[in-house]
Structure 1
Amino acid sequence: MQTGHHVAHTGAREPVRGIASRESPSWATRVIAMPLSFSGELGVAIACAAVAIGIRFLLDPWLAQQHVYTIAFAATAVAALVAGWRAGVVCALLAQLSSNVLFVEPRGTFSTSPEDAAQAATFYLMALVLLLVTNVAVRAHRALGSLVLRLRHADEAKTELLATIAHELRNPVSAMQLAADRVEMDDRPEVREKAVAVINRQLAHVTRLVEDLTDASRIHNGKMSLFTAPHRVSELLNRASELVEPSLQRRRQRLVLECADQVVKVDSARIVQVFANVLHNASKYSPDGTGIRVTVETLGKQVCIKVIDEGVGIPNEKLEWVFDCYAQVKTGGDGLGLGLSLVRRLLELHGGTIKALSRGAGEGATFEVSLPLAPPE
């Protein structure tokens, strides 16, 4: 089925998929466990081991045979914190082997005496414990950093929400006021017809904004009621496409729906709302005249619906934020940034999921919706 369409969605408030600006991470967040390639990790490991050997060489006149592996142990900790556990392992091996050859008597050869073997075993045991603890600490640090950014973003977004609501309501109200004035001043049928169309379109926009806010409040307070029944996925997609039809026609966009006989037990109104939001999101961030494809496949006990667009794409660093509440509230554009957040929450109430995929900016995006198949009757 091919058709052109779209419906008013609740996405970002500027013409680029994006997230409201966040403060830059602290130096500790940038340094600890930096995202490096394998060669980068190897470079950090070699550098840490080299620095450890250099420091031990400078201190050799005072340390002699004491603390042969102490600085190597410290270098292992630094490598693990900066580049991850693999760099820590490489650094430990390089530093220990080099220290054995350079600082253990007889120097210049690899010592395998029982005493040296015991020291090496102790070093590796302590290094193993250190790497395990460091790995847990780095994971916790990353999770905490991500949580702090999300909380900061949510706080900033909520601060902007009141201003956004005023902006979103003022524009359609002004448009309706102008249309009403035209009706009063000009009684020509064509003028009245255009004015009524404007009023109806702006009323639909305001209604959508209010419904989004109401739905968000109901879900947050656990008061969302679902009335589930078996429905064919194709029926739900067709109903959603009808909702977005006017908007897509204005932008000359093509929608291709794949035939789908799968049956899901859902609240049809809510799942149509889900599909319409995802379809509108795809249209909103795609250029005029482009296409949107919807594919459906069965994966075990789930049905997977993919909405694939040819739009601006989503940068990798922003993929995890697109479903946050108010994540796309920015100056300009339309919507309160609730659309994809509501989509995710409504799907979770049905036991479903949604995820966003994109190869990067300018590469389009794919939204995958999964729902449980209805049990056979």
Structure 2
Amino acid sequence: MGVAEEASSRRESGAPGRPAPEGRSDLDDLHARLKAFEGQPAVTGGTGKDPVNAPMIRHWCEAMGDGNPAYEGPDAVAPPTMLQAWTMGGLSGHPGRSPAYDALFALLDQAGCTSVVATDCEQEYLRPLRPGDRITFDAVIESVSPRKTTKLGTGYFVTTRMDVRTDGELAGTHRFRILKYAPASTRSVPCSRPQPQPHPRTQPPSHPRPVINRDNAGFWAGVADRKLLIQRCTHCATLRFPWLPGCNHCGGDGWDTVEATGHGTVFSYVVMHHPPFPAFDPPYAVGLIELAEGVRMVAGVVGVPPEKVRIGMPVRLEFRTVEEDLVLPVFHGGQAEDPIHGGQAEDSIHGGQAGDPTHGDQAGDPIHGGQAEGPTHGDQAGDLLNGRQS
């Protein structure tokens, strides 16, 4: 075979580092090589490190606030959503990961997709798991997406399907999707205190908008009318916040609402310093407020300097018009005259301290936004971070 013929043969085979065939890009060639991994095993012969057991079920239910009686007692079943928990290998991992799975990720690394983020998972439950059940599982590389560009960077979504069995019977499937990507380029920012702007802003920056969906639309409609509405289960009368499609106590899907009186106390709090958000003037306090009705919610604490906020401090509800089309509930730590229906503090349009009470990923998020000071109040810290009812 001549040199030209050998080079042509290598191009047709898509050898790394060689030009792609005419009419076919390097990206097309890479995707074809990635697609070849679909259907190949990712894990074979996996076994759960522990049988299904009551202590792990109890820990899970306590962490999730799930009091369903079906998960207790001699005839208990495991919560279906624990399906993946029984397959986890811990720090020591699991043997049995296939060479094909390692080769897929090595190919993505070679293509510059060196970063990874988990995006979502899907589960299907076919039979309940009970204490004593021994778990086995296998996993397969189900799909590799075409090249996608996201705010994080450009890469490929890889979906792995795990089949979970007990006594040889399929109990459920778990699909786990990740994005393997090349990070988007970012400008380096000097590690110094931000310098004052040479010219003042002509308009205040826009505040983050709450994500409104079918589950919480009623809450935000109430806020627009300057009412703080709490969901109440029509089956067991349990109050819940944040708004959910079903009762976390009895599982019922019927509900009505109760208007909060507006009285509460600071259950826990943080003071946000960094990173800065254009619509918020640090430092500002974000509190986990225990309402008189017994539920808790995350909201901004105003009316007192952030360093004066304390656990147990009485607060009262106030609605602030932070922009013409955006009203947010906050809690006032000082004396306020009829704060629910008045005292709108219109000057907060120009840099208020209010935070979104139901979506922690906005400006007042003490999980995903860096430095904060303040107590976490023991094992209830998760309530402040996730805005969950305890």
Question: Do the two structures share a fold, i.e. TM-score over 0.5?
Answer: no
Greater fraction of residues in strand = 2
Q: Which is higher, the Rg of structure 1 or of structure 2?
A: 1
TM-score bracket for this pair, using the shorter chain length: under 0.3
Greater fraction of residues in helix = 1
Bigger RCO of structures 1 and 2 (CA < 8 A, at least 6 apart): 1
Q: Tell me the TM-score normalised to structure 1 length.
A: 0.18
Q: Tell me the TM-score normalised to structure 2 length.
A: 0.18
